[in-house]
Amino acid sequence: MKKDEIDEAIKILRQEVPKYVTPAVTLVTENTKDPFRILVSCILSLRTQDKTTHEAGERLFAVAPDPERLAALDAEKIEKLIYPVGFYRNKAVTLKTLSRELLDRYDGRVPDTIEGLLEFKGVGRKTANLVVTMGYKLPGICVDIHVHRITNRWGYVKTKTPDQTEAALRKKLPPEYWLEINDLLVTYGQNLCKPVSSYCSKCRLSKYCKRIGVDKSR
């Protein structure tokens, strides 16, 4: 895509995405700008359906809305609050340890840099970028599997991993789209531009898409 084509693609995505169900982490960022809640929600969402993530987050934040109160809970209590998210036992330990480290090292404040966030166990680049962009409105590009798949499917980038896609997009994607690209493509990828048998016949972006790797579509 050329600059005018990516401009048009983003414009179309902004029109189309509100038609679909909003991902759980996006709902969190719409309801709060608290970096801690965004960070915890991202950890809960890994290998977990959005509905389950949202409900678990609601239960957990009702009891422990900040690092101090979450660190004070025992792991078994956290497990009960977040069940049935994927790997809930491991995540309970991760969240308790993370909260304790936030208190000890940062006075309870979530770091506002990707490098600082990556120091915590269980935090990868996708989560770090999401916290930085959605929690602090600082430059960053959150790349999950949907962003990786769709931008490669378009032919906008040619990469093998989400981390490589992030690096490529930092060089190519206009900065004004960095903060919203993840929200747009996650929703679009979950509902229309699916991994298998995507709805190409319904897609308004088809004229800009090279359909790389698309073997079957509807």
Note the pLDDT tens digit of each residue in 113-172: 999 999 999 899 999 999 999 899 899 999 999 999 999 999 999 999 999 999 999 999
Quick one: residue 87, left, alpha or beta (phi over 0 = left, psi -120 to 50 = alpha)?
Answer: left
d(CA 191, CA 63): 33
The domain 3-20+141-208 having CATH identifier 1.10.1670.10: the answer here is yes
Amino acid identity of 62? Answer: A
Range(s) of the chain covered by CATH 1.10.1670.10: 3-20+141-208
The pLDDT tens digits for 19-70 are 998 776 776 666 678 999 999 999 999 888 888 998 999 999 999 999 999 9
Are 140 and 129 in contact, with CB atoms under 8 Å apart? yes
Distance of alpha carbon 13 from alpha carbon 15, whole angstroms = 5
Contacts of 1 (CB under 8 A, 6+ apart): 9, 154, 155, 156, 208
Tell me if 133 sits within 8 A of 142, measured CB to CB.
Answer: yes
Q: Name the pTM for this structure.
A: 0.85
Place of tokens 């977040």: 82
Task: Report residue 31 as tokens.
Answer: 């309801």
Three-state DSSP class for 98? helix
- pLDDT tens for 62-96 read 999 999 999 999 999 999 999 999 999 999 999 99
Which residues of the chain are in CATH 1.10.340.30 domains? 24-136
Residue 150 backbone dihedrals phi, psi, to 5 degrees: -70, -45
Min mean pLDDT across 26-35, 102-111, 204-213 is at 26-35
Q: Which residues pair with 198 in a beta bridge?
A: 217
The helix (run of H) or strand (run of E) holding residue 203 is none
Q: Give the pair of three-digit tokens for residue 71.
A: 């660190």
> Cβ distance 156 to 172 under 8 Å?
yes
Position 174, amino acid: P
Backbone angles phi, psi at 93, to 5 degrees: -65, -45
Q: State which fold the 24-136 domain adopts.
A: Endonuclease III; domain 1 (1.10.340)
